[in-house]
């Protein structure tokens, strides 16, 4: 969200009346330190004192005079006393609404205070400060962690850990034990996803196991369950355990049909399309991504749409359908900039470089890829940096540029030191490096090393998981 949110939107945000995707847009904008919107927000959001006055002034709902206190109608035989029970239920719902309104009035400022601190101080803060042990603050923290996953994976991991800590400290007597279990499950799944992004698959495995155990004692909300299953399917795809991933997505589709939720079904189809691409079935991937895009609501989750369009463009290009890929990329470009996070823009430049390379525009392709490679190394995303370096190697091999190939091999030293690169992957990159030094790199060798990197990443994650 590059423009200032409308004041009405900010007011609805403060009252908790926005859909989750719109709330995330507002949060992303407010986290940019927009002073104007902070002033507007402080004016529009209800204060804790105002919420307390509302609670004092709240009155019972009016009771239909045709229904007496015994739950029957005039002249009927006495029945069970449903009226008082309904009135007590209404009061409890009203109390919870007022509690959440008061929490929302403080949650954003508490988050701002937290984010400017060091991680060590943040940890002390969430473990000591009871003001932060609220549903609204936890929900906002989890959404913020998710957003950082698209920008700074290391930061997302830190915030996800904080989110788990806060969720586990929520009071079940205030919010309901089952609802708290749902939120703690969501927090553990978010942590598992952050660990997946950082290629720590064994840790992610444990986090998802915790999330699923917690869901069993939750409310049974099918949407909460589906969100956990979608994230776990993504982990299974990275591990190349595609059969298990597709079974998880079948369960998500079933939950979507049960809830008559077309958007949820679309998310499952998009995830299946992405995984089919990883499984080297680009044509099936294209079909599922196209069908999924037709089902999802673009306004409900613009980031999902851009991820789907990105992968669809990639598979079209890899399948040699360059004209279609270029048209789709151009139509999607404004959405990349609307989303605006650095990782999305990095992926855009990487994709532009791959397409330019395939079309023989080598100078343009090298410029795109060089810039992306530097940023991936700085973010300690070793696997991505290695794969992109092999895309650069493809350009040099096709042009017979041996000197640049040797220099590229020398520049890969920081990749070897990345935390998410394991021994087998280093061995594959070492083979490439030695071949470059001896001027024996071929397109076939680059394809083999690329394929091995993708396969060994999954194999290593499985072996590490079994040994823990």
Query: Tell me, what's the pLDDT at 115?
Result: 82
Alpha helices in 296-321 (DSSP H): 302-318
Contact 428, 452 (CB under 8 A): yes
pLDDT band at 128 (very low <50, low <70, confident <90, very high): confident
Residue 68 has pLDDT above 70, yes or no: no
Q: Which domain holds residue 465?
A: 369-468
Comparing 144 with 151, the larger pLDDT belongs to 144
CA–CA separation, 449 and 436 (whole Å): 13
Q: Is residue 385 part of a domain?
A: yes
pLDDT tens digits, 167-215 = 999 999 888 899 999 999 999 999 999 999 888 899 999 999 999 999 9
Q: What percent of the chain has pLDDT over 90?
A: 42
pLDDT tens digits, 323-356 = 899 999 999 999 888 887 788 889 999 999 999 9
Q: Is residue 406 part of a domain?
A: yes
Counting the structural domains of the chain, the total is 1
Mean pLDDT of the chain: 80
Contact 399, 441 (CB under 8 A): no
- CA–CA distance from 46 to each of 2, 14, 17, 105, 131 (Å)? 25, 7, 13, 6, 17
- CA–CA distance from 37 to each of 3, 42, 102, 136 (Å)? 10, 8, 20, 20
Q: Is residue 418 part of a domain?
A: yes
Long-range contacts of 50-53 (CB under 8 A, 24+ apart): 50/105, 51/98, 51/99, 51/101, 51/102, 51/105, 52/102
pLDDT tens digits, 362-406 = 999 999 999 999 888 888 788 888 899 999 999 999 999 999 999
Angle at CA 115, nearest 5°, toward 114 and 116? 95
CA–CA separation, 450 and 291 (whole Å): 29
Comparing 258 with 148, the larger pLDDT belongs to 258
CA dihedral sign of residues 335, 151, 282, 363: positive
Query: Tell me, what's the pLDDT at 420?
Result: 66
Contact 12, 18 (CB under 8 A): yes
Query: Tell me, what's the pLDDT at 290?
Result: 96
pLDDT tens digits, 277-318 = 888 888 999 999 999 999 998 888 888 899 899 999 989 988
Comparing 386 with 56, the larger pLDDT belongs to 386
Q: Is residue 428 part of a domain?
A: yes
Residue 163 has pLDDT above 70, yes or no: yes
CA–CA separation, 40 and 10 (whole Å): 8
Q: Which residues contact 35 (CB under 8 A, 6 or more apart)?
A: none
Least confident segment among 229-233, 301-305, 428-432, 462-466: 462-466
Query: Tell me, what's the pLDDT at 14?
Result: 52
Tell me which residue of 456, 432, 426 sits closest to 446, measured CA to CA: 432
| Mean pLDDT in residue range 1-18 | 53
Query: Tell me, what's the pLDDT at 86?
Result: 53
| Mean pLDDT in residue range 43-69 | 44
CA–CA separation, 340 and 28 (whole Å): 10
pLDDT band at 218 (very low <50, low <70, confident <90, very high): very high
Residue 155 has pLDDT above 90, yes or no: no
Comparing 265 with 459, the larger pLDDT belongs to 265
Query: Tell me, what's the pLDDT at 268?
Result: 96
Least confident segment among 51-60, 138-147, 366-375: 51-60
Q: Is 235 strand, coil or helix?
A: helix
Residue 265 has pLDDT above 90, yes or no: yes
- CA–CA distance from 75 to each of 83, 311, 332, 353, 439 (Å)? 16, 67, 66, 80, 99
Residue 159 has pLDDT above 80, yes or no: yes
The secondary structure of the chain in percent helix, strand, coil, rounded to multiples of 5, reads 75, 0, 25
Q: Is residue 226 part of a domain?
A: no
Q: Is residue 431 part of a domain?
A: yes
Query: Tell me, what's the pLDDT at 458?
Result: 57
Least confident segment among 69-78, 266-275, 374-383, 401-410: 69-78
Q: Is 351 strand, coil or helix?
A: helix
Query: Tell me, what's the pLDDT at 120?
Result: 81
Residue 225 has pLDDT above 80, yes or no: yes
pLDDT band at 7 (very low <50, low <70, confident <90, very high): low
CA–CA separation, 125 and 112 (whole Å): 13
Query: Tell me, what's the pLDDT at 3?
Result: 56
Residue 63 has pLDDT above 50, yes or no: no
Q: Is residue 377 part of a domain?
A: yes
CA–CA separation, 429 and 181 (whole Å): 44
Residue 76 has pLDDT above 60, yes or no: no
Q: Is residue 358 part of a domain?
A: no
């Amino acid at each position: 969200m590059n423009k200032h949110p409308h004041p009405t939107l900010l007011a609805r945000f403060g009252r908790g009346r926005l859909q989750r995707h719109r709330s995330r847009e507002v949060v992303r904008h407010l986290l940019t330190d927009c002073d104007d919107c902070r002033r507007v927000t402080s004016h529009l959001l209800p204060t804790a004192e105002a919420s307390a006055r509302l609670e004092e002034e709240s009155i019972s709902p009016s009771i239909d005079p045709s229904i007496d206190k015994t739950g029957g109608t005039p002249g009927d035989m006495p029945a069970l006393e449903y009226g008082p029970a309904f009135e007590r239920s209404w009061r409890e719902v009203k109390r919870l609404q007022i509690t959440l309104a008061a929490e929302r009035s403080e949650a954003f400022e508490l988050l701002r205070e937290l984010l400017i601190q060091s991680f060590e101080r943040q940890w002390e803060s969430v473990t000591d400060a009871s003001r932060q042990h609220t549903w609204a603050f936890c929900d906002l923290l989890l959404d913020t962690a998710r957003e950082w996953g698209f920008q700074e994976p290391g930061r997302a991991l830190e915030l996800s850990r904080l989110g788990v800590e806060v969720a586990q400290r929520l009071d079940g007597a205030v919010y309901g034990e089952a609802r708290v279990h749902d939120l703690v499950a969501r927090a553990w799944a978010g942590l598992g996803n952050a660990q997946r992004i950082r290629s720590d698959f064994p840790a992610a495995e444990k986090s998802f196991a915790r999330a699923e155990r917690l869901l069993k004692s939750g409310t049974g909300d099918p949407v909460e369950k589906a969100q956990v299953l979608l994230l776990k399917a993504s982990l299974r795809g990275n591990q190349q355990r595609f059969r298990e991933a597709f079974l998880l997505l079948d369960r998500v589709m079933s939950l979507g049909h049960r809830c008559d939720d077309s958007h949820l079904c679309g998310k499952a189809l998009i995830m299946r399309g992405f995984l089919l691409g990883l499984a080297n079935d680009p044509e099936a991937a294209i079909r599922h991504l196209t069908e999924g895009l037709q089902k999802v609501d673009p306004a409900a989750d613009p980031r999902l749409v851009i991820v789907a369009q990105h992968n669809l463009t990639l598979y079209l290009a890899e399948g040699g359908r360059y004209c279609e890929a270029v048209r789709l990329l151009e139509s999607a470009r404004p959405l990349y900039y609307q989303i605006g996070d650095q990782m999305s823009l990095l992926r855009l430049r990487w994709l532009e470089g791959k397409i330019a390379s395939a079309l023989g525009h080598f100078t343009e392709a090298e410029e795109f890829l060089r810039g992306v490679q530097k940023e991936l190394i700085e973010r300690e995303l070793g696997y991505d940096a290695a794969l992109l370096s092999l895309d650069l190697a493809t350009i040099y091999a096709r042009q017979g540029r041996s000197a640049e190939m040797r220099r590229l091999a020398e520049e890969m030293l920081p990749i070897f030191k990345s935390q998410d690169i394991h021994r087998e992957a280093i061995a594959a990159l070492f083979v490439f490096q030695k071949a470059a030094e001896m001027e024996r790199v071929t397109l076939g060798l680059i394809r083999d090393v690329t394929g091995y990197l993708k396969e060994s990443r999954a194999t290593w994650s499985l072996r590490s998981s079994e040994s823990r």
